[in-house]
């Protein structure tokens, strides 16, 4: 008898997912205690763990359905609930209904974004994200809070701006704007020596003002989606912004798709012509059978008599 497969879950990737979940929960607790800088940093730490768990699972061949579902639940906490509550405690509480509605819009959009992403696994174009990814949206909100703390900006004094950034970040997640996923980068290939120097300079720039640099990076990334859409599409429609998109990630048909559609049109046209010819043949056959018996034979016999009588 074959040995029974051992039941259980893979430890390493799920351990990283748990670390990301803990970071999101820690951000919520810190924001409740008015430690907003620690809360913002915890969200960025959760992003690091979220990026590691999937890659580690693929490298170690420990992917599982349980891990995918657990990762989605952890993302909802770390990049859905945590940024919204941090933003609410930072600058939305004094706005009343507008404040908590802006936070709820972000949470609801994050849930919809994650649900849509899970249903499109294996079918969506891996080069692009449909809508702003939830970690990037969370980084935008957390970066705003972190910059405000570093430059001693009171969130309650600029509550409307906090509400706009939070709400727009949520709406971008459920949009159809195409964002580069950077999944096509060849991390195993060789690079010039200058590339290592550029990476060192990037680390130095980030270390000088981490909150400002990270906020600007994710702000530019959030703006890149609408800009690429308006620049690529000749005539922007509602489907290019929100709803069910009509086109794929490239916003236009490929040559193979156009060839397939043309071939299908030709075949359908030939089928229509064949059906019409068949119907014509069926209509003409009964007429040919009836004509000699009823119409044509009597007319041939009577026609000479009528003509001769008229001439007379």
pLDDT at 219 over 70: yes
Per-residue pLDDT tens over the stretch 28-87: 999 999 999 999 999 999 999 999 998 899 889 998 889 989 999 999 999 999 999 999
What is the structure's pLDDT at 233? 74
* 127 or 300, greater pLDDT: 127
Last residue of a domain, one of 221, 252, 283: 252
Q: Do residues 156 and 53 touch, judged by C-beta distance below 8 A?
A: no
Pair 117, 90 in one domain: yes
Last residue of a domain, one of 236, 252, 268: 252
Torsions phi, psi for 285 (to 5 deg): -65, -45
| 1 domain residue, yes or no | no
> CA angle at residue 127 from 123 to 130, to 5 degrees?
65
Give the separation between CA 237 and CA 310, rounded to whole angstroms.
76
Q: Averaged over 231-244, what is the pLDDT?
A: 72
pLDDT at 112 over 60: yes
The continuous run of DSSP H or E covering 179 comes out as strand 178-180
> CA angle at residue 243 from 241 to 245, to 5 degrees?
75
Pair 113, 217 in one domain: yes
User: Residue 68 is encoded by which pair of tokens?
Assistant: 């995918």
Pair 73, 209 in one domain: yes
Collapsed DSSP state (helix, strand, coil) of residue 244: coil
Q: Do residues 78 and 43 touch, judged by C-beta distance below 8 A?
A: yes
Give the separation between CA 112 and CA 66, rounded to whole angstroms.
20
| 3 domain residue, yes or no | no
User: Residue 257 is encoded by which pair of tokens?
Assistant: 């798709």
Last residue of a domain, one of 200, 229, 252: 252
| 32 domain residue, yes or no | yes
Q: Do residues 236 and 143 touch, judged by C-beta distance below 8 A?
A: no
Give the CATH number, domain containing residue 99.
Answer: 1.20.120.1760
Q: What is the DSSP string of 194-211?
A: HHHHHHHHHHHHHHHSHH
User: Residue 133 is encoded by which pair of tokens?
Assistant: 């990814």
pLDDT at 209 over 50: yes
User: Residue 152 is encoded by which pair of tokens?
Assistant: 């001693």
Pair 170, 43 in one domain: yes
Pair 203, 300 in one domain: no
**Structural domain of 185:** 11-252
Q: Do residues 180 and 249 touch, judged by C-beta distance below 8 A?
A: no
| 232 domain residue, yes or no | yes
Q: Given the structure tokens 């690091």, which residue do they identify?
A: 48
Pair 180, 48 in one domain: yes
| 189 domain residue, yes or no | yes
CA dihedral (129, 43, 162, 149) positive or negative: negative
199 CB-near residues (< 8 Å, 6+ apart): none
Q: Averaged over 180-204, what is the pLDDT?
A: 82
pLDDT at 24 over 70: yes
pLDDT at 285 over 60: no
What is the structure's pLDDT at 119? 84
**pLDDT bucket at 303, cuts 50 / 70 / 90:** very low
pLDDT at 290 over 70: no
Residues shown for the chain: 312
| 5 domain residue, yes or no | no
Pair 39, 104 in one domain: yes
Number of domains composing the chain? 2
Give the separation between CA 44 and CA 136, rounded to whole angstroms.
10
Q: Given the structure tokens 């048909």, which residue do they identify?
A: 253
Q: Averaged over 189-205, what is the pLDDT?
A: 87
Q: How far apart are the first and last CA of the chain?
A: 112
Pair 278, 182 in one domain: no
Pair 235, 285 in one domain: no
Pair 247, 271 in one domain: no
| 200 domain residue, yes or no | yes
Pair 192, 284 in one domain: no
CA dihedral (116, 120, 121, 127) positive or negative: negative
Pair 197, 275 in one domain: no
Residues in a beta bridge with 128 = 180
| 16 domain residue, yes or no | yes
CA dihedral (293, 296, 300, 302) positive or negative: positive
pTM higher than 0.75: no
What is the structure's pLDDT at 245? 56
What is the structure's pLDDT at 78? 96
């Amino acid at each position: 008898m074959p040995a029974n497969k051992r039941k259980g879950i893979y430890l390493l990737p799920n351990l990283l997912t748990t670390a990301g979940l803990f970071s999101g929960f820690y951000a919520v607790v810190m924001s409740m205690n008015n430690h907003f800088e620690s809360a913002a940093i915890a969200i960025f730490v959760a992003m690091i763990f979220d990026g590691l768990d999937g890659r580690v699972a693929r490298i170690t061949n420990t992917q599982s359905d349980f891990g995918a579902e657990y990762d989605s639940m952890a993302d909802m906490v770390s990049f859905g609930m945590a940024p919204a509550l941090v933003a609410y405690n930072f600058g939305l509480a004094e706005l009343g209904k507008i404040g908590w509605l802006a936070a709820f819009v972000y949470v609801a959009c994050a849930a919809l974004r994650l649900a849509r992403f899970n249903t499109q696994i294996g079918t969506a174009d891996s080069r692009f994200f449909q809508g702003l990814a939830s970690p990037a949206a969370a980084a935008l909100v957390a970066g705003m809070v972190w910059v405000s703390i570093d430059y001693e900006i009171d969130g309650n004094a600029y509550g409307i701006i906090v509400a706009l950034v939070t709400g727009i970040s949520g709406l971008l997640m459920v949009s159809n704007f195409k964002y580069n996923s950077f999944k096509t980068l060849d991390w195993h290939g060789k690079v010039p020596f200058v590339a290592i120097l550029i990476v060192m300079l990037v680390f130095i720039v980030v270390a000088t003002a981490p909150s400002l640099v990270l906020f600007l990076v994710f702000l530019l990334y959030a703006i890149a989606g609408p800009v690429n859409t308006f620049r690529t599409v000749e005539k922007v429609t509602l489907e290019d912004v929100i709803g069910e998109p009509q086109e794929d990630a490239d916003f236009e048909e490929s040559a193979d798709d156009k060839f397939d559609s043309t071939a299908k049109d030709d075949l359908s046209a030939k089928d229509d012509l064949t059906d019409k010819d068949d119907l014509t043949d069926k209509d003409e056959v009964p007429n040919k059978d009836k004509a000699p018996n009823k119409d044509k034979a009597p007319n041939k016999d009577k026609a000479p008599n009528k003509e001769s009588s008229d001439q007379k």
